[in-house]
Every structure is written in structure tokens, then in C-alpha cells.
Amino acid sequence: MKMNTYPKLLSLVIPIWLLSFGSLNAQTFYKGVDLSYVNEMEDCGAVFKENGQTKDPYQIFYDYGANLVRVRLWHNPTWTNYSNFADVKKSIQRAKSLNMEVLLDFHYSDEWTDPEKQYIPAAWEYTTTVDQLKQEVYNYTYNTLASLNSEGLMPELVQVGNETNGNVMVKDGVALYPVDFARSATLLNAGIQAVKDAGAQSSITPKTVIHIADPANAAWWFSEATAAGLTGYDIIGLSYYPVWHTSNNVSQTGDIIASLKTTYNKDVMIVETGHPWTNDAVDETATNVMEGSASGYAAPTPEVQKDFLVDLTTEVAESGGIGVIYWEPAWVSTPCSTLWGTGSHWENVTFFDFDNELMESGGIGFLSEDYISSSPTEVQVTFKVNMEGVSTSNGVYVTGDFTGDGSWSIVPMSWESGTVYSYTTTIAVGSTGGYYFLNANDWGSRETVPTECAAMYNSDRAYTIGTSDMTLAYKWGSCEEVIPSEVQVTFKVDMEGVSTSNGVYVTGDFTGDGNWSIVPMSWESGSIYTYTTNLAPGSSGGYYFLNANNWSNRETVPTACATIYNSDREYTIGNSDITYAFVWNSCDTANYRLVLASDLSDSFSSVSVYPNPASTYIQVKGSVTPQHLALYSVAGTLVMEVKDTKKMDISQLNNGLYMLVIDGSIKTRVIKK
């Protein structure tokens, strides 16, 4: 089983108190739950409990850290009173009342859809052409979202189809395979366009999700669909049920996510997953469909359920994914019947025991962890040009496809020094595009890019964006790079668990003359120490960290990353500023390490604050209600205080960092976003 080696990480980063060792990913990491069954289960008599007390299930999931609720929508399900438009509105309202975002899942059917079943809604049976059906998809999607928006219920994400591996919206008797990708792309594109058009009329512009079952199917499916014209969607959504989808394990699923993200320049998330907490059941009619554990995990227990989910979600985050949604944590047993019999055939996969009591040691715990993608969605890109010998009386400009939507605009560049001008922006990781420089604010004043470096359109410069900040610097009308005399290089080390009583140091060949000296590092925060210097582009050398001002107190660098002298770390300097950040005695990168609140108070382990970051409310989780909550600014000024409550309204505060003091002793940091 994969073990978590890092402390908890935040899903939204604020530089004032996070240690940023690379480009920051400001996108929310989704910790979601599909609660499509909750309304029905409650109407059937289900009572959800936490610590023996009846509690609203939405509140339970929110309190544990859920920030996204997924709900399914069937077109006209005459066989049930649930997952129709009225039911969906109720679910969205419940989620939004707790400030959770919503993923609305259009099945485009009157019943369940999956890789083995994609029946067209009865109301659309009349259609005989793809164009007719495309119009129905567009109108239905647009009108549904417009109606939700009119009631303040526009979802933040919209899933256009559910597990659309096979042919979508087919009549009974029509084969699902082989897939007519041209037809599927046409119909899915209609839904995508409808979401965009409805979003244009709303203060919320939903992102669109295309959903495929089993990560192993994603590469071929999206390759075929893209070739057939599928376009305009924002997120690749995957179902991953490890007991069924056995061709890849957790780690391999992470590899698939990273590959999809790079290949298609899309965000990726797990929109469905599940794992049993037991192989036992109490229902006599409904048979449990999921038994056994994921490969590499012990027999199902609540703790194993949680371990799997934490491992999976950590892997998703570290692979650049944007979230994980659990299906369906509240589908408990009731006297009512579903398509599969009386009760629930999923009761051993929920987060509740057979008495509907929340299992705090079980899967719900994955929501309480904090995750952040180690792969940014955007990076900072700087364009530089040396205008030596070229007139700049009318200014210096750059133009290019910096937004990824094909639109070019002329942007002024700022004078930097000498004859060098620069412009900095953020561009999505994995994107490519063209650009060139101009010496006036018109298209006719452009440079002539030499053929050997006119890699875009045979006339323009080209960029390809990686996962680190980058600089593209050239002489006007030339392929010759503008090379700075020096760049800023920062060395950082995480000393967690290592004595620093004698200081922290770094040594290396920082002068280029082969002379090594021991240099003191500065405490930054928590267990992080840092040293910054300037080095020449093209230079390389070795370095390592020490915890005293002598050579014998050095770290032992693992062989895997002792790439110079078989004992030391190595640096190679390019043309841009760079940071080398590692954990002492480890090859692990100190990515976005957090100064834990536990560093401030040993009592912190007894409480947690949710959500954090927060925009409206923060709430202390625990069995005892605090007598006093006091919120301070970073300057130590009291901002607000409340008594005898777990909840504090921070909606009127400015965004930033605050310190929460609970009952005068327990301290933790809070981010307002």
C-alpha cells in the first residue's frame, strides 16, 4: 500500500504562508461526493447519524471537508420520482446552501447510462437524423441550465453524458459498439455548446466534463473522439472502481491522468470511485455488487476504505488531477425498493455502518485531508526581446496566442534594461502557440523571424509550455537567444524531524572555480530553510545540505539523486531563475510544503477547521463547542470574536491569512479566499 510521506497539503494556496517551490496552482482541488440518492433515501425513512446524533447528511459531508456535490439528472424517468428536474433542484439547493460547488450529471436518458447501456430518452424517439437529435440535446441542455440559473442554482460543473464509452443516445436494439465517433462527437459537442451558451447568460460559467469509465479506456477513446471532432470541453472525467477496473492500479491510474493532461491539455478528475468497507451485508434481497479490495490492499475494513481513498486522491493530486468524487457514500438500506431489489446493494460501500452511523475511521476521512496538485495548471511565461540597433520610438510590443482560444492581440512590452524589453503572462501547462515581436502597435511593424526558428505558420516563433516558469528571450529578427549574465538560484531544504540547533547550511561549487564553502541558510518558516545566490547560465556543479557549520554534519544524499561525485546533489543552470528544493536526506521534492498549525500548538490535533480555505464560513469540528473563537490579522490585531459557537462568518473579511485562537490556547491558521 502506498504510504503518505508528506504532511497535509492545502487545496488552495496563498503565498504568504505556503512555501512555494514552483509555480502555484490556484485551482480548487475537488473533494466530492455523489449524493444523488439522499433525497430518496430520506423519503424512505433513512436517518443519518454522527456520534449517535441525527444529522443532515449534506452537513456531515460538508463538515468533513467536501467542497463538491455531484447529482445525476435523467430526462423523464417515469419509473421513479427521483433524479428528475425537481429532485435535482432540491439537491443543488442543499449543496449550495452550504457553499459547496455542484457537478450536474446529464445522463441524456430516462434511466441509468453506462458503458453497457445508453438508451435515448423516450421523448426523442421520433428523431431520425443526427441533426434532429443534436438539436434536442442542445435545447434540453440549454433550457435546463437556464431554468436553474433563473433560480440561482447554476452548477459550477456540468457533465455532458455519463460513462459515454459506447454510442450515446441510441434506440433499443442499436449496438453500442463499435462506436460511431463522428455521431458521438456531434451530439456531445451540442451539449458542450449549450453549456457555454447558458453560462454566457450567468454569473457562473460552468466547466464541462466528458466522462469515460475505466482509466484504461481513456487514451484510445479520447484519441478517437478528438480525431472525430470532439472539442470545447474542459475536463476529462474518469470512473475508477479498482475492484472492477483491474487493468491498472492506483499508481498507474496516476500515470494515465498525467498522460491525458499532457496529451489533451485538459484538466482530469476521478468523477466516480468506490471501495467496500466490509464484504458482509444485511439486505436479503439486494445483492452487494462490489466485494473485495483493490489490488495491494487488505480485506475490506473501514480503515482500508479510507487508506485506498487517501492514496488514490494523493496520487490524483500529484499527477496533476483536480479532484476525486466518491460514489455513492449515502446510499444506505431502507424498506424501499430500487431497480435491484429492496434496500441498497451498495450498503457495504457507503461511509455509514448498517445502523446508518457514520464510520469516522472509514472513507469519510479522505475528505478531511488536504491535497494540492504538484503539477500547476498555469505557469508564468516571460517573453523578452533585445532591440539593439532597432528603433523603439513607437514602443515595443509582442503578439501571440496567449489565451489558447486562437485570438491574437498586440500587447505592450516593458523596458527592462539597456535594449531589452519584456512581457510576462500566465499560460496553461501543455499548451502551444505562436508569437512574434513588433516595434509599433500595428501588425505591419512586425519582425521577420528567420526560417530556421519560424516553427509556427512558417513565419512566427513558437512556444510549448512545460510545468515550470519559463523565459523566451531572443534578439529582434534573429534566432539568437538573449542570455542573461546571471540568474537567481534558490536552494531550499525541509528539515522536518532533523535537529537544527546548530543551524542549517548549504555547501556547493557556487563560484564556478571549484572552491566549496559552507554558507548559512536562512529560516523561512516551519522547518524550511533557504539560501539564494546568482549563478551564470550554463554553469553546473554539486551541492548538499548540512545541519552544522562543518563538513561532517552533512546529509546523506540517496544514490538515486546523488548525480555528481556519487554523493552530492547536482544543479544545472539555464537562462531563467530556478529553485532547488528537497527534503533532508531524500530525493523527495519539497513541493508546496506547509507550515502546519501543529507547529504552533500541541493541542491542534484535537480540532480541525472546515472549510479552509473558506469564503463565507469557517467551522470548528469536534465534539465540544468552544467557548470563545478569536480571529486575528497577521499583524496581531483582533479582527472578530464569537462565543459559544463552532461557526464564524468571515464573508465580510478581506482575502488573506488570519490566525484563529480557540479558547485562548489552540491556534490555527485560516485562509479567506
Residue with cell 464484504: 279
Query: Which CA distances in Å does 94 have to 32, 149, 664?
Result: 14, 15, 34
Among the listed residues 163, 318, 347, 369, the single catalytic one is 163
Quote the CA–CA distance of 592 and 581 in Å, as a whole number: 10
Quote the CA–CA distance of 599 and 94 in Å, as a whole number: 36
- Phi, psi (deg, nearest 5) at residue 258: -60, -40
**Sheet of strand 432-438: strand arrangement:** 409-412, 397-400, 432-438, 461-464
Query: Which CA distances in Å does 70 have to 306, 312, 636?
Result: 20, 19, 40
Quote the CA–CA distance of 544 and 514 in Å, as a whole number: 15
Q: Residue 293 is placed in which grid cell? A: 479490495
3-state SS track over 44-90: CCCCCEECCEECCHHHHHHHHCCCEEEEEECCCCCCCCCCCHHHHHH
Residue with cell 433563473: 150
Q: What angle do CA 153, 156, 160 make, to 5 degrees?
A: 100
| Cis peptide bond prior to 178, omega within 30° of 0 | yes
Quote the CA–CA distance of 337 and 402 in Å, as a whole number: 54
Residue with cell 447510462: 113
CA atoms within 13 A on the CB side of 448: 2
Query: Which CA distances in Å does 154 have to 82, 91, 146, 160?
Result: 19, 12, 8, 15
Q: Residue 74 is placed in which grid cell? A: 435523467
The yes-or-no answer on residue 272 being catalytic is yes
Query: Which CA distances in Å does 587 have to 527, 541, 559, 592?
Result: 17, 17, 9, 15
Quote the CA–CA distance of 529 and 506 in Å, as a whole number: 10
Quote the CA–CA distance of 569 and 589 in Å, as a whole number: 12
Which one-letter amino acid corresponds to residue 319? S
Neighbours of 148 (CB within 10 A): 23
Q: Residue 350 is placed in which grid cell? A: 457507503
Which one-letter amino acid corresponds to residue 633? S
Among the listed residues 40, 50, 272, 328, the single catalytic one is 272
Cβ(672)–Cβ(656) below 8 Å: yes
Cα dihedral: 155, 156, 158, 162 (round 10): -90
The residues assigned a catalytic role are 163, 272
